[in-house]
Amino acid sequence: MAIGNSATVAMEHYQRGEVVTRELHLLSDLKLEENVIHMKVQGHSRMHSLLSFAMNKINQAEISQIVWHGEGLALSKAMNCADIMKRKCKNLCMLSRKGVKRIEEYWEPIESESGLDRDTDAVCILLSKLPLNAFKQEEGYLGVEDTPMIKSIPKAKPSSQSASNGRKTPANKPKYHSHKAKQKPL
């Protein structure tokens, strides 16, 4: 029995059936190199591991392009990896394209058939040592001289030095004293 809205149906009356994923080809119009590296980022992927592998590959002479793929919860992680890599390797061009990936889930109820369609955001980011002159006018293009999408984190303001104990404390931080009564020496 459903609780709340009359249009709501309890999921315990369904079993998961077929799941159809429509592949998204955001970079299909590009002529990628034969030795391009495709980095598929997932939500549980560790950025350090991904970046270590990708940085080792892009530093090889025969590798000139890396494509970062991310969708759903991994979208921002893929974008962050590409931005970090562009910042560390100064000679890379970047082309970003965003799209929507369609996932169709079919749930088989005990009585009749029903379906559910979901759309998840997706991104493909091409980092290339080779110039991408044909795509300079495209919205997601960043040349060698351009900065990545992530804004740099502002540095913290230096804190004042406390003269009494040598520890750094903010200048406007109030000093608190203990409420314990001082013990008199015996």
- Taking only the tens place, the pLDDT of each residue in 18-53 is 888 887 788 878 888 889 999 999 999 999 999 999
Percentage of residues in the chain having pLDDT higher than 70: 67
Neighbours of 5 (CB within 10 A): 7
Question: Would you tell me the crossing angle of helices 75-88 and 47-58 to the nearest 10 degrees?
Answer: 40
What is d(CA 36, CA 33) in angstroms, rounded to the nearest whole number?
5
At which residue do the structure tokens 């190199």 appear? 33
- Taking only the tens place, the pLDDT of each residue in 146-172 is 766 554 334 444 444 434 444 444 554
Local confidence band at 10 (pLDDT 50, 70, 90 cut-offs): low
DSSP 102-141: EEEEEEEESSS-EEEEEEEEEEEEEEESS--GGGTTSTTE
Structural domains in the chain, sorted by start: 12-142 (3.30.110.20)
Taking a C-beta distance cutoff of 8 angstroms, is the pair 82, 127 a contact?
A: yes
State the chain's mean pLDDT as an integer. Answer: 75
